[in-house]
Structure 1
Amino acid sequence: MKILAIAASNSLQSINKKLLTHVATLLAPLDVELIDINQYEVPIYGIDKEIEKGIPSEILELSQKIKNSDFLIFSLAEHNGSYTAAFKNIFDWLSRVPDTKGFHNRKTLLLATSPGSRGASTVLEIARDRFPRNDASVIGALSVPSFNENFDLEKGIINPDIKQALNDLLHKIK
């Protein structure tokens, strides 16, 4: 099984990347590819840019990776109650790739975390509603609130309830 794991943040110190990296270790020995969206930095989407230059090759490459995967996991950072600008731009471009609305009908797990007590739950709610409209079959979602209190770089998730909820979701993948 090929799993594509995308941290929807362009921060080099992203806690969503840290969460996703931990999740990837829990899925061993499955084949998990971690995607750094910094490798997909493209012009801000606009129809005029698309008409003039077409879809950027980086987006076509990412779309092909999504198509070649069996499962997607996103860890969504929240900026002002929504996706990060970097991810939203990639999402907009992916939705323009021919023969897909973005996610190639892949089963998808949504994660989100933040330092605050809401754990990026607003962006998670938005994604749960939006992603199915863009060809994602969302099998579950999990918010990890208060990241610095509930996560340890060496141990992973240390809150037993959140840890169990994550394990239950990962069981659906395995």
Structure 2
Amino acid sequence: MADPTLVTLSGSLRKGSYNRMLLKEARAAFGPAQVLEGNLNLPLYDGDLEQAEGIPEAVTTLANLIKGADAVVISSPEYNKGISGVLKNAFDWISRVEGMAFKGKPTVVISANAGRTGGETGQYMTLSCLVPLQAQIISGPTLCVAGAQNEFDENGTLTNDHYLEVLATRMQALRAAAT
């Protein structure tokens, strides 16, 4: 059997974000796969724009990437006790694309944040947003990397054994659901 396709989505656009670092660790824990990174740098959702110009090509590309995936892992910071605007905007656009990209798609949500809760509230809101998109949420121990600035080394490698164990458990469950 061919390696599964894993799509990663970072709710932070910043190249050096802790969530991108966490996604790198998730890819390794998932095991052999074709890994594709979704681009969430999209225009703000605007119904007038959609009506005048249709759905932007970048949104269609992202939705098709998700549709073609065997599994999805989302890592996002928490901003002001909520979901990142980048991630919420992507969900809003994706919901407008015909074919329900997330429907039945095995999906795990994780987070890394500088704060002491590791993005727990933002993660909860992300999971809530995935419900109407009909993603197959893979439950398990919550992974919220708190004080993320202290949990990654200078190479962007997660160093906390507890977090690595939880991540391995989550990615094993996601891989099992994807095959």
**TM-score with structure 1 length normalisation?**
0.88
Contact 2:38 / 2:65 at 8 angstroms: preserved in 1? no
| Seq. identity, % | 25
1:21 aligns with 2:24: yes
Instruction: Select the structure that is richer in strand.
Output: 1
Number of equivalences: 170
Equivalent runs, 1:6-45 vs 2, <5 Å = 6-38=9-41, 41-42=42-43, 44-45=44-45
Partner letter of residue 165 of structure 1?
A: V
Cα distance, 1:155–1:53 mapped onto 2, change above 3 Å: closer
Where structure 2 has 5 or more consecutive residues not aligned to the other structure, the ranges are: none
Tell me what 2:65 maps to: 65
Counterpart-to-counterpart distance in 1, 2:15 and 2:165? 28
Partner letter of residue 46 of structure 2?
A: G
Where structure 1 has 5 or more consecutive residues not aligned to the other structure, the ranges are: none
Cα deviation digits, residues 15-68 of structure 1 (max 9, x gap): 111111122123332222123423xx32x2122211111111111111111100
Moved over 6 A (4+): none
Greater Cα offset, 68-77 or 9-18: 9-18
Counterpart-to-counterpart distance in 1, 2:154 and 2:23? 12
Tell me what 1:91 maps to: 91
Counterpart-to-counterpart distance in 2, 1:155 and 1:18? 6
1:131 aligns with 2:115: no
Q: Which has the higher contact order (CA 8 A, sep 6+)?
A: 2
How much is the aligned-residue C-alpha RMSD, in angstroms? 1.8
SS where residue 172 of structure 1 aligns? Answer: helix
Cα deviation digits, residues 68-120 of structure 1 (max 9, x gap): 001000001221122222222221111111131x5232010001111111101
